[in-house]
Structure 1
Amino acid sequence: MSQPTAPETLGSLSDETPVDPNSKQAKAIAGRSPMQIALGRLVRDKIAMVCAAVIVFFLVVAIFAPLICKLFGVSTDTVFASQYLDMLGGGMPLKGPPNNGFDPEHPFGIAPQSADDNLAYWVYGCRTSLTIAASATLFASVVGIAVGLLAGFLGGIVDKVLSFFIDLFLTIPFLLAALTIAPILNDRFSLNDNYALIQKFSLVAVLAIFGWMGMARLIRGEVLSLREREFVQAARVLGMPTSRVLIKELMPNLAAPIIISVSLMLPAFVAAEAGLAFLGIGVTSGASWGQTISKAVKYFEEYPLYLWEPLIGVVLLVLSLNLLGDAIRDALDPKTRR
């Protein structure tokens, strides 16, 4: 006579080792929210923690840029450039690299032809990149979340109209639009006293206008699946206003995709800002890593440090943001074992 078999459970069908409900691990998991579990997984990721430390470093540099420049005694203002340059030798610095040793007065050296202090421009270039990228990410996220929520929840004609605008903006090449808008702004505001500030605001607007569609499509897809769930149906049956359903019921369940999308959007905007400045259609008045790279390209053989300093800054910041974004995505995914 065959032995009776125990009923199969969901845990027996998976390849994971079942956890004893009385163990310390089970008790620790039972008392934590999904966000706390994800944060714990993120903290245990060494690569994510190194990237977070690098990002914190750049944030400190951007926030305290004036204090850092004051501490090292450098400034973006250049007086009597001819005193620091060999005008008969191609405009190269008289002190410091590339032809001389380390100059404590200018730790990163000075720029040829202009005698700008490289450290001051590097620090303020970091502030410019992070300020523009963070502002564009904020505006693009707000617009994308609002459009995605309305399109996914209301459906019908609203969904069709908003989806049409999403697809319409996706068909417009970003670089072509930037190349078209930049000359118009330069002609319109070039004589304005606040031209540098206007240029930054216009760049934020361009990045945000052509960067919200990905967030909107992601949120719309999530809302389409969430709006048929029992808790949303119960809220609608109880007569809860649409705004309250969107904010109180749906938004908490969209935290994970929003965080992931923002963490991947920010490095894209940092790279875009540097790329546009390199092409001469981004920030051209003031300090910018992309603008410095554009100026340093022709001096690469004679003065490689001039090019490597802003280039390393861009690469480190974008790489750290991308790796941290990937780590956040893996930490928030309950199916991954990372």
Structure 2
Amino acid sequence: MTDLSEFNMSDGELFSHVDHSALESEKITAPRYSYWRSVFRVFFRKRINVVILTLFAIILAFTYIYPAINHYDPYANILEGWTKHLTPSVAMEALGHNIHYILGTGASGQSTFDAVWYGSRISVSMAFLCAAINLTLGVVIGAIWGFSKKVDMVMTEVYNIIGNVPYLLFIAVLVLIFSAGFWTMVFALTITGWLGIAYFIRTQVIIIRDREYNLASRCLGTPITRIAMKNILPFMTSVIVTLAATEIPSYISYEVFLSYIGMGMSDMSLGRLIYSAENAMLTPGWQFEFWSPVVVASIITIVLYVVGQNLGDASDPRTHM
């Protein structure tokens, strides 16, 4: 048995009085949690996401910055007959070794490279605008739809009627009725485009609306709209991000397809470029006019989809453990 006197310590040195503080007892010692910080930490944990995000930034730079600093005139060389349908090597040799002619020239002697990015700006802008409108309307209306039985009765009938009309056919009819332009395409893609999103959100809301914390909020008299906005939608952040990942590329695909069959925008979008260069697809030496916008449209849609899907996965709180 060790004698405490050997250490020459008094009772005051061995023990100390601890004061009780109600304020200190309420403090949480767990580390501070930031949802979006955790989202980006999980997202950037995968190196492939960094590569894809870098590619996405390059695409956006060429889509918006490059056309802004380089004036594009599709008819600048139209009077120079020898500049039409040049391959990249011939175009760079004849017109100068610069970035404008690395994809050759088109039917009017224009730079195919400049035309592709000018068209990308129109297509991507249309896709982002349509996605913003449809997602906003779809998420808000879908949240209310899933909580209100009166709204559910009306909106279900509306969905059963409109949802059975082929979406692509509906867009084509609207484009034919109105003048084929940028805002006509936006109107055609958003007039009913939000309905499918709203129905999906309604289904998700029904799954979680009767959980305990929502029942408690309703018993306390909390308005339905507030419950939907504060209790439901934040819980569905990853679902909404995943929806955006699928919606944005789909609008570009719709525009490209409709323009390819001659029913799209009259503006020089990616689809319009593909439609105009259709005859060049089978002509030896002219293939760059057709395949350049096809490849760029494919890359843009794939990158947008992958970035959105990976961000949607990172938005799921269950991945933050």
TM over 0.5: yes
Equivalent in the alignment of 1:134: 128
Say how many residue pairs are matched.
288
Q: Equivalent of 2:300, from 286, 299, 317?
A: 317
Would you say the 8 A contact 2:143–2:202 is kept in 1? yes
CA 167–38 in structure 1, closer or farther in 2 if over 3 Å, else same: farther
Question: Is the counterpart of residue 82 in structure 1 residue 79 in structure 2?
Answer: yes
Partner of 2:158: 165
Distance of 2:162 and 2:58 partners within structure 1: 35
What residue number does 1:122 align with? 116
1:177-256 maps to which residues of 2 (within 5 A)? 177-186=170-179, 199-256=181-238
Distance in 1, Cα, partners of 2:48 & 2:271 = 27
Superposition deviation, residue 308 in structure 1: 2.4
Shift of 1:317: 0.7
Match of 1:293 among 274, 277, 291: 274
Which SS does the other structure have where 1:212 is aligned? helix
**Alignment TM-score, normalising by the size of structure 2:** 0.79
Match of residue 144, structure 1, among 138, 142, 146: 138
Instruction: Return 271-280 or 231-240, whichever deviates more.
Output: 231-240
Deviations along 1:238-290, whole A, 9 cap, x unmatched?
222333222223222222211111121111112212222222222223x2111
Decide whether aligned partners of structure 1 residues 209 and 98 sit closer, same or farther in structure 2, where only a CA change above 3 A counts: farther
Q: TM-score, normalised by structure 1?
A: 0.75
- Structure 1 residue 51 and structure 2 residue 80: aligned? no
- 1:65/1:127 contact within 8 Å kept: no
User: What's the C-alpha RMSD, in Å, of the aligned pairs?
Assistant: 2.8
What CA distance in whole angstroms lies between the structure 2 residues aligned with 1:334 and 1:138? 24
Cα distance in structure 2, aligned partners of 1:143 and 1:61: 30
Amino acid at match of 1:199: G
- Residue 62 of structure 1 aligns to which amino acid in structure 2? T
Give 2:9's aligned residue. none
* C-alpha distance in 1 between matches for 2:39 and 2:182: 36
Please state whether the residue corresponding to 1:151 is helix, strand or coil.
Answer: helix
2:88 pairs with one of 97, 119, 122: 97
Residue 80 and residue 321 in structure 1: after superposition, are their counterparts in 2 closer, same or farther (change >3 A)?
closer
- Whether the 8 Å CA contact 1:178–1:281 is kept in 2: the answer is no
Letter in 2 for 1:81: I
3-state SS in 2 of match to 1:330: helix
> In structure 2, the residue corresponding to 1:281 is in which secondary structure?
coil
CA distance in 2, matches of 1:274, 1:49: 28
Q: Among all aligned residue pairs of Structure 1 and Structure 2, give the percentage whose two residues are the same amino acid.
A: 23
Q: CA deviation at 1:335?
A: 6.1
* Structure 1 stretches lacking a partner, 5+ long: 1-28, 187-197
Contact preservation (8 Å) 1:218, 1:257 = no
